[in-house]
Amino acid sequence: MSTTLARTSSTRFAPAAAVRRGLALMLMATALASPLLTPVPAQAQAQGLPDFTELVERVGPAVVNIRTTERPRTARGGLPEGAEEDMLEFFRRFGIPIPNAPGGNSPRRTPQPDEGPQRGGVGSGFILSADGFVMTNAHVVESADEVFVTLTDKREFKARVIGADKRTDVAIVKIDAAGLPFVRIGDVNRLKVGEWVMAIGSPFGLENTVTAGIVSAKARDTGDYLPLIQTDVAINPGNSGGPLINLRGEVVGINSQIYSRSGGFMGISFAIPIDEAIRVSEQLRATGRVVRGRIGVQIAAVGKDVAESIGLGKPTGALVQSVEAGGPSEKGGVEPGDIITKVDGRVVEKFGDLPRLIGATKPGQKVTLQVFRRGAYRDLAVTVVELEPAQPSRRASAPESAKPAAPVSALGLSVTDLSDAQKKELKVKGGVRVESADGAAARSGLREGDVILALDNTEVTGARQFETIAARVDKSKPVTALVRRGDWVNYIVIRPLATR
């Protein structure tokens, strides 16, 4: 019985197996005849991926290793002078967790006077011209007593720093040599997100290391004066100052920063756009420093809630938080609480655009600022002056207390008039002082001592007028107050108690 069953089973399925073999042969024949299903040779598959070998051969000789030394300067506690600051700056730039923070009990070695130059650091750079001008990061050569440049052919030169600009992190050094290989400069405007790029540098001191990736984003606001290029190219400490290169073999950026929680590469790197760096380098080569313009304001971003509440529409422009006394903006009529939306017709999309636009303006030149103030636009003429090192701002003393008025129930505020002396000290024409904040006002962040300069796009002149404005506020909608706290001015959105 079992033999029969086995034989029957064999006989029963034999035709099916034959059919399957026939179908398989037909499919194979169809695949060979169809251009869509024809197997693609491995060489053809690789044609879609970039080959960096030619780029490395072409650009590599123009990339250099930079080594710096710094003589020990003994300070309090046996630490070299500025050592903690330099180390903290290194950790900050590369996102490394700070070990042995100041105040810790870890032992530190005290340099001896007869030890001579000490190893300072290692970075990268690239040759701009055949006569020996080299571009790198300012933080690579900062505080260095000696700078040494090593070429790919192992020749080493002692370099001199022509100039360094900390605001853009660009520096130029010079070596005495001729006939050197140099890089070609690319057009950053042609650079596209998703485009392949390559980096050459000295991560952790490993010279002429090549890494590659793509452009992740452009115009990242991580610097005061530069919109940086974000990539996923592997960049580590020591890569600083090296070139970011496109597939045409052109330098499009200087590798400068990484985002990291461990100190190593985590997929996010930042490069200084080469067009901005070249503009800086030209000034450094000509005068050894960079001249920038300023207009004497402190600014902040405009939030979505604030933009909608004051009638600006979308969050754009730069909010003026304070105006320098006697500075260009004050002379031009700019007031705290203004939102600067254009400079000579150029739109300020985000607040980081303003310092770049003004910084690129020649001192002494007059510019027209379009500002949004209490629901309307107006143009103001301001003369740009030269940017100087930032001075610590003087914090205004707390205004004298006055007898509090009755609280405004809709907003949860109790306010009083400012005395003439307080107005003079604060350099304001009107406003009221917050004596107490409850409910909606407290939830919005208002507190005792704040000075309210405007409410619901209306300038506040005194406590009685403030109560009138507050009484007619639409209880179903948020209301915006222009508030001064110390030296700073900002908008605060108050959501009345009646709203949820």
- Does the residue 500 lie in any domain? no
Residue numbering of the annotated binding site? 139, 169, 238-240
Q: How confident is the model at residue 160 (pLDDT cuts 50, 70, 90)?
A: very high
- Does the residue 12 lie in any domain? no
Range from 76-85, 275-284, 312-321, 357-366 carrying the lowest mean pLDDT = 76-85
Residues serving a catalytic function are 139, 169, 240
Indicate which CATH number applies to the domain containing 325. 2.30.42.10
Q: Is the same domain home to 84 and 225?
A: yes
- Does the residue 396 lie in any domain? no
Indicate which CATH number applies to the domain containing 197. 2.40.10.120
Per 3-state DSSP, the chain is made up of helix, strand and coil in percentages (nearest 5) of: 25, 30, 40
- Does the residue 378 lie in any domain? yes
**What's the pLDDT score for residue 21?**
59
Q: Is the same domain home to 239 and 151?
A: yes
Q: Is the same domain home to 61 and 205?
A: yes
DSSP string, 358-414: HHTSPTT-EEEEEEEETTEEEEEEEE-EE--PPPPPPPPPPPPP------BTTTTEE
Residue range(s) defining the domain that contains residue 181: 50-98+117-290
**What's the pLDDT score for residue 38?**
47
Pick the last residue of a domain from 241, 262, 290: 290
Q: What is the pLDDT of residues 90-132, one digit of tens each?
A: 455 544 444 444 443 333 444 444 445 455 688 999 999 999 9
Q: Measuring CA to CA, which residue among 250, 126, 136 is closest to residue 186?
A: 250
Q: Is the same domain home to 201 and 274?
A: yes
Q: Is the same domain home to 222 and 250?
A: yes
**What's the pLDDT score for residue 420?**
84
Q: Is the same domain home to 231 and 308?
A: no
What whole-number distance in Å separates Cα of residue 237 and Cα of residue 257?
A: 9
Scan for tokens 């290989």, then name that residue.
Answer: 181
Pick the last residue of a domain from 367, 386, 405: 386
Residue numbering of the annotated binding site for substrate? 139, 169, 238-240
Q: What's the pTM value of the predicted model, to 2 decimals?
A: 0.64
472-480 contact pairs (CB < 8 A, 24+): 473/410, 473/411, 475/410, 475/499, 478/305, 478/309, 479/309, 479/411, 479/455, 480/306, 480/309, 480/310, 480/455, 480/456
Q: How confident is the model at residue 388 (pLDDT cuts 50, 70, 90)?
A: confident
Is residue 304 within 8 Å of residue 298, measured between CB atoms? no
Q: What is the pLDDT of residues 23-47, one digit of tens each?
A: 555 555 554 554 444 454 545 444 5
Q: Is the same domain home to 283 and 311?
A: no
Q: How many CB atoms lie within 10 A of CB 409?
A: 14
Q: Is the same domain home to 304 and 274?
A: no
Q: Measuring CA to CA, which residue among 122, 121, 115, 110 is closest to residue 80?
A: 110
Q: How confident is the model at residue 222 (pLDDT cuts 50, 70, 90)?
A: low
pLDDT at 10 over 60: no
**What's the pLDDT score for residue 200?**
93
Is residue 56 within 8 Å of residue 200, measured between CB atoms? yes
Q: What is the pLDDT of residues 334-364, one digit of tens each?
A: 999 999 999 999 999 988 889 889 988 989 9
The CA–CA distances, whole Å, from 29 to 19, 22, 34, 39, 442 equal: 15, 11, 9, 13, 78
**What's the pLDDT score for residue 352?**
85
Both tokens of residue 125? Answer: 């750079």
Domain total of the chain: 3
- Does the residue 277 lie in any domain? yes
- Does the residue 449 lie in any domain? yes
**Average pLDDT score, the chain:** 78
Q: Is the same domain home to 125 and 213?
A: yes
- Does the residue 285 lie in any domain? yes
Q: Is the same domain home to 382 and 428?
A: no
Pick the last residue of a domain from 386, 404, 438: 386
What whole-number distance in Å separates Cα of residue 409 and Cα of residue 432?
A: 16
Q: Is the same domain home to 336 and 270?
A: no
Q: Is the same domain home to 155 and 220?
A: yes
- Does the residue 16 lie in any domain? no
What whole-number distance in Å separates Cα of residue 73 and Cα of residue 86?
A: 13
Range from 7-11, 80-84, 230-234 carrying the lowest mean pLDDT = 7-11
